[in-house]
Structure 1
Amino acid sequence: MMNHLSDKYKEKLVLRGDLYYADLSPVIGSEQGGLRPVLIVQNNTGNRHSPTVIVAAITSRTTKAKLPTHVPVTREESGLKCDSTILLEQVRTIDRCRLKEYIGQLSPGQMELADTALLTSFGLKKETAVRDRTPLTVRTAVPSRMYSMQSS
């Protein structure tokens, strides 16, 4: 019988702020995919006890639109192969088996910037928490067709 976490997961202790390569495929639409760097954003209690981990995708495209959910990082400060951008609007929960090679860890200052971007992404900052009354177009996949729906 298996414990709450298998021995395989216990061996791969990840910490909030760690950078790993992860296999994010398969994806749908504009989701970031493939083997790419990710930032661990899950709290360390979850990291110790869960077979899954919450991550934010990282892109090497530093010319992407500068959104308040983007945090630039240099290769020197991150251990990444090139200057990159952490996409804190591209947050997802993945199984630990998707984590591959350890890259490094963000500095406390960079992690503070990531935390601020996460607050913005999830609408937890007071100035961004006001509900936007603009209708949102949602696409729902139906076999071989796409429909647009107005959310209220």
Structure 2
Amino acid sequence: MKVKVKRGEMYFAALSPAVGSEQNGYRPVLILQNAMGNLHSPTVVVAAISGKPKKMNMPTHCYLSAGNGLDIPSVVLLEQLRTIDKSRLGGRIGELDETTMKGIDRALAISLGLENEKESEKQS
């Protein structure tokens, strides 16, 4: 069965095995990959989501309040990017709105060195 996913959706995913400081276990992730890749690739690019928002002190973190399927406030860790096989995905959690995804895109651009933190602060 082919899993159909969409950029901005959140799913549970099996991220183990992991090494060192990589996020692991069965946890929420955010789909970051574009529509073409999601349609044709057996893999998907995701960012880990943590239920410990107090850790939100990096420009690559994006806060999510409880809702959209999340039971608790969480943080998307845009420095914790992974390409995983779609078979690692479990149940769909929910989908982020366009405004939240703009914040995700800013944090992602900082994480990948496409934009620096100071440029991002000017745009906010």
Once residues 48 and 109 of structure 1 are traced to their aligned partners in structure 2, the CA distance between those partners, rounded to angstroms, is: 24
CA displacement 1:95-117 (0-9 Å, x = unmatched): 00000000010010110000000
Conserved? CA contact 2:56–2:62, under 8 Å: no
Partner residue in 1 for 2:93: 103
Once residues 44 and 16 of structure 1 are traced to their aligned partners in structure 2, the CA distance between those partners, rounded to angstroms, is: 7
Partner residue in 1 for 2:20: 29
1:115 aligns with 2:91: no
Letter in 2 for 1:110: T
Q: Which among 34, 39, 49 is matched to residue 48 of structure 1?
A: 39
Bigger-Rg structure (1/2): 1
What count of residue pairs does the alignment treat as equivalent? 117
Conserved? CA contact 2:78–2:108, under 8 Å: yes
Q: Secondary structure at the match of 2:104?
A: helix
Partner residue in 1 for 2:69: 79
Unaligned stretches of 5+ residues in structure 1? 1-7, 129-152
CA displacement 1:119-146 (0-9 Å, x = unmatched): 0000001x46xxxxxxxxxxxxxxxxxx
Conserved? CA contact 2:9–2:30, under 8 Å: yes
Once residues 56 and 5 of structure 2 are traced to their aligned partners in structure 1, the CA distance between those partners, rounded to angstroms, is: 30
Greater RCO between the two (CA within 8 Å, min separation 6)? 2
Partner residue in 1 for 2:6: 15
Query: TM-score by structure 1 length?
Result: 0.75
Q: Secondary structure at the match of 2:55?
A: coil
CA displacement 1:16-55 (0-9 Å, x = unmatched): 0000000000000000000000000000100000000000
Unaligned stretches of 5+ residues in structure 2? 118-124
Once residues 108 and 120 of structure 1 are traced to their aligned partners in structure 2, the CA distance between those partners, rounded to angstroms, is: 19
How far apart are 1:72 and its partner, in Å? Answer: 0.4
How far apart are 1:65 and its partner, in Å? Answer: 4.4
- For residues 128-139 of structure 1, the aligned pairs below 5 Å read none
- Percent identity over the alignment is 50
Once residues 107 and 35 of structure 2 are traced to their aligned partners in structure 1, the CA distance between those partners, rounded to angstroms, is: 19
Once residues 84 and 23 of structure 1 are traced to their aligned partners in structure 2, the CA distance between those partners, rounded to angstroms, is: 18
